[in-house]
Structures are given as structure tokens and as C-alpha cells.
């Protein structure tokens, strides 16, 4: 098994020394120590760092990541972590799909406003105004009120 000094693991993972130490303080990572007290890390530690980076990029908080990593203490087979990851991935996907739908609705609304203003003869001053009754967008417009 290869042993890496903190500078080497930093370079391999793309993380700063400070971040690696912080992850250690949080219990996300646990460095071995030489007889002289110098930290060293293993290939498994590098895998954990890359997993942490991946999970953070997917929107996981460090607290969520820590909870998943700590499951190794309860189940050395990895099944609990796998199940928890699947649950969390599905939750994140659901949340992202919801945000995507909200964003799509916002985009559609902006497109509608663009079309509405482009179809008015005098742009902003015609809308709202005398042209409202004949406007093709009156059913959706917040300004138009039938008397």
C-alpha cells in the first residue's frame, strides 16, 4: 500500500492542505502517523477525498457526507452506505428536477413577456393601454381587465 505525505495527497486530490486538515478534524478522513508524528495517507484516503469532492459537486453538504462516511463503522460490508447514497441521490435528483421545472416556468414567462412587448406597436407605452382589448395576450396579461 502506497503512503502519501499531506503535500502529495493535496496535489493528487486538488485540495488544499488546509481543506485536508479540516476534513480530518471533521472525521471525514483519518491520517496515519509515522513514529515522528508526520501525517501519511493511503490510496483509500485518496479515494475518500475524491468521493468527497464528487459528493460536494452534486450538492451534498459536509454534514451529509460525514453521515454517509460514518456508516462504515456500523456496516463494514458497505451496504448501509450504498443504500444511504442511493436514497440521497434520489432526493437530490428530485430536488433538482423541481428546481428545473421552476426555472423552466420562469424562462417561459420571460419568453412570453418578450413576445408580448414585441407584438405591441409602441412597445412599453401600448402595454397596458388602449390596445389591450384586441391584444392576443389579454387572456394571460395581468394588466388587462374586461369591464
Q: pLDDT tens, 67-111?
A: 998 898 888 898 999 999 999 999 999 999 999 999 999 999 899
- Omega cis (within 30) before 92: no
In this model, does residue 126 exceed pLDDT 70?
Answer: no
Q: Does the global pTM surpass 0.85?
A: no
pLDDT in tens, 43-77: 999 999 999 999 999 999 999 999 998 898 888 89
Q: What is the pLDDT at residue 40?
A: 92
Higher pLDDT: 83 or 139? It is 83
Q: Are 11 and 48 in contact (CB under 8 A)?
A: no
Separation between Cα atoms, residue 4 and residue 139, nearest integer Å: 67
Q: What is the pLDDT at residue 97?
A: 97
**Average pLDDT score, the chain:** 87
**Residue showing cell 382589448:** 133
Nearest to 6 by CA among 68, 37, 70: 37
Amino acid at each position: 500500500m502506497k503512503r502519501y505525505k499531506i503535500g502529495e495527497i493535496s496535489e493528487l486530490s486538488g485540495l488544499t492542505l488546509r481543506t485536508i486538515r479540516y476534513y480530518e478534524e471533521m472525521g471525514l478522513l483519518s491520517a496515519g502517523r509515522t513514529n515522528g508524528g508526520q501525517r501519511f495517507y493511503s490510496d483509500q484516503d485518496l479515494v475518500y477525498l475524491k468521493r468527497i469532492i464528487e459528493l460536494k459537486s452534486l450538492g451534498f453538504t459536509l454534514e451529509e457526507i460525514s453521515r454517509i462516511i460514518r456508516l462504515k463503522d456500523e456496516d463494514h460490508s458497505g451496504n448501509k452506505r450504498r443504500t444511504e447514497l442511493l436514497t440521497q441521490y434520489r432526493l437530490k435528483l428530485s430536488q433538482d428536477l423541481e428546481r428545473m421545472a421552476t426555472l423552466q416556468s420562469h424562462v417561459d414567462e420571460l419568453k412570453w413577456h418578450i413576445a408580448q412587448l414585441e407584438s405591441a406597436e409602441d412597445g412599453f407605452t401600448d402595454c397596458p393601454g388602449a390596445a389591450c382589448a384586441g391584444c392576443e395576450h389579454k387572456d394571460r396579461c395581468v394588466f388587462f381587465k374586461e369591464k
